[in-house]
Structure 1
């Protein structure tokens, strides 16, 4: 009789080979798992009755309120990309920092961070910055590798700076893994870890990465000043007049307001990630409607003010009317909320009409294009989730999880060696697989095992710290050749004089920076754990 563990390794290898060959992710995972389930059943090492858990797993995915945030965040990001907010940010930031050596590179990093905190869509960010900044940087005499690496790395910041789809999906997986780990340890009143915790934990590490990128660029400028020259002031126009600062405010106000509304409401506990994603989707729609016709922007401004008022009332009062005792003040607040809701609805309706009638550069209606893109991306994500569930069921049924647990628990070096091995495997897998496959294949298997282990000082492992370490590691999967998606996006919009090797060589320093960031996070876990502890006490 064949050892079922051998079937586990064969299943994993076949799935990876098929993915690298270009087969669709979701169908590869589910099809490979089903094939090996049938083989295992024929060899009498797998019970097909285990597959009865698959329909329930699909139902659990579809009713998971946390995952509702995924299409809402995707909608927000695509709508903001269509409203050309990135173009305005890049143009004005380039003028602001362009007179400094390396100023255009600094601008790309700052804009990448702002777009990450307001959209989180890697493809849209890389393509937009590649179309707008790369030709300018090359024309100004920037080193091709520095320019390509800066744009590709800055575009991936949306995977670590919240709100991030990766953190939503990773938080959902870690929540289940953390509860399973505690049940295995005999703790039947388990603590929880949520997407809110990961959002709070990722904030400082994300901006730490931005700082490391800029420090590298400063060092590059000092060593190779000709590789990142400054732009003469006379070519940038008036940098001190009121009109320039008005342009800067116009470019920055919208993303900052959206960041405060979405991320702020999550961090202070006013809204769940799903609710905040809804606020972000509506806010992005109103912003696009305002950009469509700023001369008649008062309905949108009214709607934004009403939304802000509703958030303030929700934070200050209990607006539930179906209670036995409601004070006069609370009734007044409820009445005010109803009036503000009417104003918000008016602003949203005007925005929807404007975005529906607005045609982009390709002649497509903006609202229709955004809805189509949201549907296709969301369908892809959820189909991968479903396929990965089948893969996990078969992998566990063949005893793969028990074998992995045995290996990790018996490594020389204990917990630290286990974490290092898992991080190394995820890093190597990032060369060949997308972050979605890694999140839904690796994390459910290894996270419950790691979270049962003790750290060398005897303390339990922080699920937030582990999650942020994994998220930062997964970010490199967008940059590492041959299948880094950020590299493909940039290659698709790069000028003809940019060779593929220029892009590959340009991202090497930034991948090293991210590994250095992981090392810093290893020795300074407080960077990830301090804010969740301060906000939520965990």
Structure 2
């Protein structure tokens, strides 16, 4: 019994592993393990019987968690956008823009994946949509099956790291950090990951052009009547939008000054970026709308198509993320605005009916219920695990690793990488992260950096063969037998499972490269965060003691000390803003201090009386000689240098 009591935490953790290996659902495994070991611990006397008394309040606290309230809102926003056909329009339009260049369809898949990640945030929806629309087009025009599969799966999994990612919300909740800071920290690594995907596709386009052919001219649908491509007007519209954005960014300080009526010198970079992007895209949308309504014919079909398809989701992204980054809205409020805006866009486009809306609501409810059940089980487990000193056991286990912070980060990332073979990101967030966070914080690791690092690592769980969920989603929609293409009328060979796995490997290495970059350069995450105000308590205490010692509590106040006081034997400094001065109409003499009389101030030595409102001493007539204050005689001590300086100043001023 003594052995069990002294090793209760590791035994409890091993019990959880057994439950999971037996195939029980994670939520029920966590809850059952927590309750079982809780009752056993009470019987063995490991902890008191009141250990489970606070469980109901803890569970009710989960339902009232403002951070987790953002999960259903962002999920609903993404599902409404996906159900309203936005993914199909984006894939078709961006494919037409980039199709004429080598690798253009793969680049379109990457960019559409990033846009869908920033609007839908649902990996399954992104991968399935692109698998149904982009993959047949890539196969039709001779793309390498491995590259096509890998690009679609990797681009769809970007929803794990690009804000407003659900993973980042869960990380912020488990690490007790701001969701807005987590989003800010993840933005730069996410953009770098997209850039790495683009670089890989361009590398293949240069050195392996046969694997990524360009879209043939007959496949370009948005051509003008005269046969032109329509790119010039698109470039002009993009240039105008860019000029407006740059002008807004450069004039933000003047706009703030005009709006507030007070001079403003510096404007935060986040505010400049969000305002500039919103202004530029809005101007482009207005130009395209006026051109269509008035029939001016200034823009090509391609330019109009790009404007009306791309700008609404872009404005939605700026609305949601911009308000969160600027602190205008909380993540929960931003998610609610995003969900409402997605519904409005779907209705305006006449692509969202009541049946599709009900499907989106049902899917959001299922996902939210799934998250809540896991969190309830994790709360039950963690409460008993903490009572058994489990976090202390984990801290001793991991803090003893060689290499300090770097050794800890390497071991943790390897552990999370392999655990992601079997657990999804919800389970990792609720089981593993609460155990690792206290150790990371005790080692001085920034938890925003730690959370983004783990989120980037968890993203690889969608790409490892043969366990990656993104690979499963793609396998479910990829052709598994030969079929006749509806356009070319040629037989297209199927995509095998091994081709999907092999296509994922290069993108998996890119993701691991980004994990290594974040470990080596934490500034990629923390560089854009607001720096906390650091207060040196020892220095502040020393300054306070120094002020007390020289401010008149026994000694004279400094002549240039704005906070010195003339109490006891000391005199207030001549430049003292807060001490009795020669021009102070309400100055007072305290004890034997030399408060100066002017305009009716108390001049009696040691009186210390302040005049009450309405009780003023009689004022002498104009031209009469001013009475001088009477100072009580007292034993004089040897004046200090500061006292001598103060007396000299008073004599010079005629005091």
TM superposition score normalised by structure 1: 0.79
Tell whether 2:211 aligns with 1:227.
Answer: yes
Aligned partner of 2:302 among 217, 237, 244: 244
Paired residue for 2:475?
A: 491
1:449 is displaced (CA, Å) by: 1.5
Q: Give how far 1:200 is off.
A: 0.8
**Alignment partner of 2:402: what SS?**
coil
Give the Å deviation of 1:68.
1.0
Please point out which of 339, 352, 355 is paired with 2:353.
Answer: 355
The corresponding residue for 2:575 is none
| Structure-to-structure mapping, 1:368-447, within 5 angstroms | 368-447=358-437
Mapped to 2, the partners of 1:509 and 1:471 lie a distance apart of 19
SS in 2 for 1:58: helix
Residue 16 of structure 1: aligned partner: 20
Structure with higher Rg: it is 2
Counterpart residue number, 2:514:
517
Aligned to 2:84: 83
Residue of structure 1 equivalent to 2:348: 290
CA distance change for structure 1 residues 421 and 8 in 2, over 3 Å: closer, same or farther?
A: farther
Distance in 2, Cα, partners of 1:213 & 1:60: 41
Does structure 2 conserve the Cα–Cα contact (< 8 Å) formed by 1:30 and 1:387? yes
Alignment of 1:120-519 (within 5 A): 120-175=121-176, 193-237=177-221, 238=223, 239-240=229-230, 242-292=300-350, 355-356=353-354, 365-454=355-444, 461-496=445-480, 497-519=494-516
Task: Name 1:71's counterpart in structure 2.
Answer: 72
Deviation at 1:153, TM superposition (A): 0.9
Structure with the higher helix share, 1 or 2:
1
TM-score normalised by structure 2 residue count: 0.65
Distance in 2 (CA, whole Å) between partners of 1:44 and 1:482 is: 45
State the alpha-carbon separation in 2 of the partners of residues 512 and 276 from structure 1. Answer: 34
Q: Distance in 2 between matches of 1:34 and 1:483?
A: 31
Q: Which one is further off, 282-291 or 130-139?
A: 130-139
Relative to structure 1, the CA distance from residue 148 to residue 15 in structure 2 (aligned partners, 3 Å threshold; closer, same or farther) is: farther
1: CA distance between counterparts of 2:40 and 2:131? 47
* Contact 1:432 1:482 (C-alpha < 8 Å) held by counterparts: no
SS for the counterpart of 1:278 is: helix
Residues 487 and 47 (structure 1), Cα distance of their counterparts in 2 relative to 1, 3 Å cut: farther
* Matched length: 443
Shift of 1:63: 0.8
Give the alignment's Cα RMSD to 1 decimal: 1.9
Deviates more, 1:433-442 or 1:40-49: 40-49
Distance 2:521 2:149 in 1: 30
1:439 and 1:478 map into 2 onto residues whose CA distance is 15
Q: Aligned ranges for residues 89-104 of structure 1 at < 5 Å?
A: 89-104=90-105
Q: Look up the match of 1:527.
A: 524
Paired residue for 1:360? Answer: none
For the structure 1 residues 64 and 444, does the alpha-carbon distance in structure 2 shift closer, same or farther, using more than 3 Å as the test?
same
Partner of residue 345, structure 1? none
In the alignment, what sits opposite 2:287?
A: none
How far apart in 1 are the matches of 2:467 and 2:370? 18
5+ residue gaps, structure 2, are 224-228, 232-299, 481-493, 535-655
